[in-house]
Amino acid sequence: MMAQPMTVMLVDDHALVRSAVRQALDAPDISVVGEAATAAEALDLAPRLRPDVLLLDINLPGTDGLSLLRELAPRLPETRIVMLTVSEDRRDLMQAVRGGAAGYLTKDLGPAALQRAVRGIRSGDLAMSRSMAAEVVRELARNTWRGSPAPAAGGEDVGSLSQRELDVLRLLAEGMTDREIAERLGISPRTVETHVGSILHKLSVRNRAEAASRYRAGASGSEG
C-alpha cells in the first residue's frame, strides 16, 4: 500500500510566494492542505488541519514567525514546523531551533530541493543545510561549555526575543519614540506597539523603562 501523502500547510504573507511554494510541492506524495497569510489565520487554521509539516515564514505582519512558532509548537506536537524564510541570520536560526522548529530552509531552494527536504522530514531528517546544521551544533557546544546564561529574575532573558523585537528594544533603550523606531525599521507605529507589548510580556516587566534597563544590563554584561 502507498503511504498517505504528506500534508503541508503554508504560512506566508505574500500570495505569490505561497503560490510558488505550492507549485514547487506539486507531487503525488505531498498535499498542500491549507494556507495562511497572518499569524491570526495560522493560529485558527493550523490546529484544525494538524498538517504533517507547516512551512512558516519569519517576517509576518503583526506577530513575527518566531513568536508564532512558540505559540504553535506546543499545540501541534505531531506537526513538524519548518521555517521557510529569506533570513540567514544566525540569531533567527538559533531562536527557531530553540523554539521547536524541525528545520530552517531559505527561499532560494529549488523545487526539487524543497521536495527532498519535506520528504526527508517523514523519515526524521533535519530540514536544514549542512552549514546551518553545523552552526547549530557549534552554538549548542559553546553554550554547553560556558553554561547557558540564566534568565534575569522574574522573567526570561532578552535572548527569548525575536530579532525584530531585539531591534525594537535596542532602539527603545536608545531613547527613541515609537514613531522614530517605526521610521528607522520601516514599519508602522502600530507594529512597534505590538512588538513592545510582546517584549514586556516575554520579559515580565511592567513598562518600557524596565525593558530598556534589562536590555542595557544584558548589553553591558556581554561586554564584560
The angle formed by the CA atoms of residues 102, 105 and 110, to the nearest 5 degrees, is 135
The pLDDT of residue 221 is 55
Q: Residues with Cβ < 8 Å from 127, sequence gap 6 or more?
A: 80, 82, 102, 103, 104, 105, 117, 118, 120, 121
Task: Kindly tell me if the per-residue pLDDT of 45 is higher than 90.
Answer: yes
Distances (CA, A) of 138 to 106, 141, 144: 20, 5, 10
Task: Kindly tell me if the per-residue pLDDT of 152 is higher than 70.
Answer: no
Task: Kindly tell me if the per-residue pLDDT of 153 is higher than 50.
Answer: no
The pLDDT of residue 157 is 63
The pLDDT of residue 42 is 94
In this structure, whether the domain defined by 158-219 belongs to CATH 3.40.50.150 is answered with no
C-alpha cell at 217: 544590563
108-144 pLDDT tens trace: 999 999 999 999 988 888 888 888 888 888 877 766 5
Range in 14-23, 88-97, 198-207 the model is least confident about: 198-207
Topology match between the domains 6-142 and 158-219? no
- Interhelix angle 90-98/163-173, nearest 10 degrees: 120
In this structure, whether the domain defined by 6-142 belongs to CATH 3.10.180.10 is answered with no
C-alpha cell at 121: 522530514
The pLDDT of residue 154 is 43
Report d(CA 37, CA 39) in Å as an integer.
Answer: 7
Task: Kindly tell me if the per-residue pLDDT of 151 is higher than 90.
Answer: no
| Percent of residues, the chain, with pLDDT higher than 70 | 88
Give the dihedral of Cα atoms 8, 57, 70, 47; nearest 10 deg: -30
Confidence band of 150 (pLDDT split at 50, 70, 90): very low
Report d(CA 92, CA 84) in Å as an integer.
Answer: 12
Domain boundaries, the chain: 6-142, 158-219
Report d(CA 173, CA 85) in Å as an integer.
Answer: 28
From 66, 120, 118, select the one nearest 94 (Cα to Cα). Answer: 66
180-189 pLDDT tens trace: 898 999 888 8
